[in-house]
Structure 1
Amino acid sequence: MQGASTGTVYGGLKYQARCIADVRADSDHTSFLAGTLSLKEENEVHLIRLSPSGNEISCEGLFYHQNEIWDLKSCPFDERILSTVYTSGETYVASIWKIPEITSQSNSPQLDQLVSLDEHTAKIKSVLWWPLGKHDKLVTIDERNILVWSIDSSNKIAKVISQESVGMLHNLSGGAWDPHDRNAVAAICDSSLQCWDLRTMKNANAIEHAHIRDVDYNPKKQHILATAEDEFGIRLWDLRMSKIPLKELPGHSHWTWAVRHNPEHDGLILSAGTDSTVNLWQVSVGSEDSTIDSPRDRHTRQIDPLLNSYTDYEDSIYGIAWSSQDPSVFASLSYDGRVVVESVKPYIQRN
């Protein structure tokens, strides 16, 4: 099914942008953070909130962030804390910030820097918070290393407690933290996905021969994750049988850049790409599944997993995020700074 976007549009980002994140810790509102990527201008973090009616998006806060934002995450247990990866001169660094109190006199205040995660010796790519609640550890990934940090935001202390290098022959580009296991992280590495045990800092498992751009764990089913790949589109994997994917979905007509499982509705998956499209999928995969689809099975079932394509964009889409507070809602961010918030309730009710 093809369809133009009919969602609520927030066009308030003045500059190009790649990063959007759900504010999970905001239990009262459907909120998102978006960060800009301007080389010459002072950048901004926008706190965007959906009205209770779902018909209007407002900017609840606009905060200066001097440098280009390449990665942005909201702390899952404190709505006023976030992390960014950004440029500083010719290097990339990461920091944890606190959003200042918003008052009527506030006029785009500066974020309060709590700690700088400055122990990296290679280009940092991503900051990972454990997704399901309070945890005093952070994981950061640079091109050569995985670092585990002990974080004390209240006292502005961050300390590396363990790290491991993947060696000069490999190149890390991102990853995801398993919501079912605080000790498991999946790291995107060249033509493979490496699953790391944070207790031993060793590679415990791997999915080989895939050029992966994004990875996301299924929050409802243990061992299941999705990957966005250049050649194969979207693949779903059971890490206990990592040689062959459980399911395969078509990719986008250009690069498939991001993939996200719905936080509550099992089987609902979003993907976004540089073809200016967001796709909504419905796929039945459970950790209890012991069989893998054969090509014949896929052909004979004749079930189209694509529920809808949202095509009312004019630029590449690098950022998508489901709302934790209302899992029928997602936000997408195109490179031109346009935020669109959509409801997928019709598709949930249909299924």
Structure 2
Amino acid sequence: MQGGSTGIVYGGLKYQARCITDVKADTDNVCFLAGTLSLREENEVHLIRLSPSSAELICEGLFYHPGEIWHLASCPFDGRLFSAVFASGETDGAVVWKIPELYGPSNSPQLEKLVSFDGHPCKIKSVLWWPGGKHDKVISIDEQNIFLWDLNFSMQITEAKSKESVEVLHSISGGVWDPHDRNSVATFCDSSFQCWDLRSMKKTSSIEHIHVRDADYNPNKRHIIATAEDEIGIHLWDLRMPKIPFIELPGHAHWTWAVRHNPQHDQLILSSGTDSTVNLWLACTASNSDSESGVDSPNRSSEPLVHSYTDYENSVYGISWSSREPSLFASLSYDGRVVVESVEAYLPRK
């Protein structure tokens, strides 16, 4: 099923953008952070809140940010903290920022810089907070390395507990932290998807010869992960049986750029692509190892596509479910268009 957007449009972003993230720690409001990456203008971070009536998106805070924002992640246990990976000319890096207590759309208060992730020999690609709850460690990933940091926000310092050079033929493009195991993190690149044990910094498993753009663990089922793989589409994997995916979804007409499991209804999977489309999928998330059939081939669902949101003029790089209200998601296209949609009509019936 295809159709234009019937969602709520936010009109505050003036520049190009790729990054949007749910503010999981705000349990009272549906909130998102979005960051811009203009080459010539001073970039901005917008704190966007859905009004109590769910009729409009409100700018709760507007903050200037040095450099283009290439990755954005909200702290899962403190709604005033977020990390940003940035680039400015030949300079790049990553910082944890703190939103000031007194903020509002009428002014542009300064973000407070808490910590920076220094010492990376290569370009930083992402900063990961453990999604499973409060945790005093953060991961930063560059093109060849994984750094595990101990954070002490009161003293505003970071300490690299451990770091490891990752043995890959191609540069790492991103990573994802297992919400079920704080000692397990996965990285992906042009040719493989690899899992690492943070205690030993050793590789535990891998899926080779796949070009992964994005990945997302199933938040409700261990060992299950979805990958977005350029023209191929979306694969669901059981990491206990990594030789072949147990679900194949066709993805997008062009590159499939991002994929996200719904935080509560894990059969619902969201994806976005460079075909200016957001797709909502309904897929069985029970793998072969969880069933009695033992089928050893991929399962291609006949009608997995529930709805396509096509009211975009540019590539859609950013998608994020709301943790507070799992029937809502936000999307961000390259031209700075933020839309919040409801999938209430498509939720699986109990």
What secondary structure is seen at the aligned counterpart in 2 of 1:241?
coil
Specify the alignment match of 1:182 in structure 2.
182
SS for the counterpart of 1:227 is strand
* Aligned residue type for 1:203: K
Task: Please give the alpha-carbon distance, in whole angstroms, between the structure 2 residues aligned to 1:149 and 1:312.
Answer: 41
CA RMSD of aligned residues (A): 1.6
Inter-partner Cα distance in structure 2 for 1:63 and 1:49:
15
Deviation at 1:66, TM superposition (A): 1.8
Q: How does 1:200-215 map to 2 (within 5 A)?
A: 200-215=200-215
Q: Distance in 2 between matches of 1:275 and 1:18?
A: 15
User: 1:284-307: CA deviations, max 9, x gaps?
Assistant: 112524644746x64xxx740110
Q: In structure 1, the residue corresponding to 2:347 is in which secondary structure?
A: helix
1:115 maps to what in 2? Answer: 115
Q: Which residue of 1 aligns with 2:217?
A: 217
Once the two structures are superposed, residues 162-215 of structure 1 have per-residue CA deviations (whole angstroms, 9 ceiling, x without a partner) of: 111124733111010000000011100331000000010011000111000000
Q: Aligned partners of 2:246 and 2:88: how far apart in 1?
A: 41
Q: Is 1:147 matched with 2:147?
A: yes
Q: Distance in 2 between matches of 1:30 and 1:46?
A: 14
1:243 to 2:243 alignment: yes
Instruction: Tell me if the contact between 2:87 and 2:93 (Cα under 8 Å) persists in the aligned partners.
Output: yes
User: Equivalents in 2 of 1:188, 1:68: separation in Å?
Assistant: 23
Query: Comparing 231-240 with 168-177, which one deviates more in the overlay?
Result: 168-177
> Residue in 1 aligned with 2:134?
134
TM-score normalised to structure 2 length: 0.96
1:265 is paired with a residue whose SS is: coil
Task: Provide closer, same or farther for how the CA distance between residues 104 and 180 of structure 1 changes in structure 2, counting only shifts above 3 A.
Answer: closer
> Contact 2:265/2:348 (CA < 8 Å) preserved in 1?
no
CA–CA separation in structure 2 for the residues paired with 1:187 and 1:104: 37
Which residue of structure 1 aligns with residue 38 of structure 2?
38
Q: How many Å separate the matches in 2 of 1:148 and 1:103? A: 32
Return the offset for 1:232: 1.7
Secondary structure of the corresponding residue to residue 341 of structure 2:
strand
24 and 38 in structure 1: CA distance in 2 versus 1, 3 angstrom threshold: same
Question: Match of 1:319?
Answer: 318
* Whole-angstrom distance in 1 between the partners of 2:105 and 2:147: 40
> Which whole-Å CA distance do the structure 1 matches of 2:229 and 2:172 have between them?
15
Residue 180 to residue 315, structure 1, CA distance change in 2 (3 Å): same
Distance 1:104 1:164 in 2: 41
| CA–CA distance in structure 2, aligned partners of residues 45 and 200 of structure 1 | 36
The equivalent residue for 1:341 is 340
Distance 1:349 1:171, change over 3 A: closer
Contact 2:70 2:84 in 1 (8 A): yes
CA distance in 1, matches of 2:202, 2:296: 31
Counterpart Cα distance in 1 of 2:58 and 2:221: 34
Q: Does 1:193 align with 2:186?
A: no
Question: Can you list the C-alpha shifts for 1:47-89, whole angstroms capped at 9, x where unaligned?
Answer: 0001122221111000010210000000000000000000133
Structure 1: 5+ residue stretches without partners:
none
Q: Deviations over 1:303-325 (max 9, x none)?
A: 40110000001100000000000
| Structure 2: tracts of 5 or more residues without a match | none
Distance in 2 between the 1:152 and 1:309 partners?
A: 43
| Aligned residue type for 2:307 | N
Pairs within 5 Å for 1:1-351: 1-103=1-103, 107-167=107-167, 169-286=169-286, 288-289=290-291, 291-292=294-295, 294=297, 298=300, 303-348=302-347
Cα 1:245–1:105 change in 2 (3 A) is closer
**8 A Cα contact 1:20 1:320, kept in partner:** yes
The answer on whether the counterparts of 2:11 and 2:338 sit within 8 Å (CA) in structure 1 is: yes
Report the 3-state secondary structure (helix = DSSP H, G, I; strand = E; otherwise coil) of the residue aligned with 1:100. coil
Bigger CA drift: 85-94 or 128-137?
A: 85-94
- Report % sequence identity: 68
Comparing 159-168 with 321-330, greater Cα deviation is found at: 159-168
Counterpart contact for 1:96–1:114, Cα < 8 Å: yes
Number of aligned residues? 347
What one-letter code is carried by the residue in structure 1 that aligns with 2:11? G
Q: Which amino acid aligns with 2:67?
A: N
Please give the secondary structure, in 2, of the residue aligned with 1:272: strand
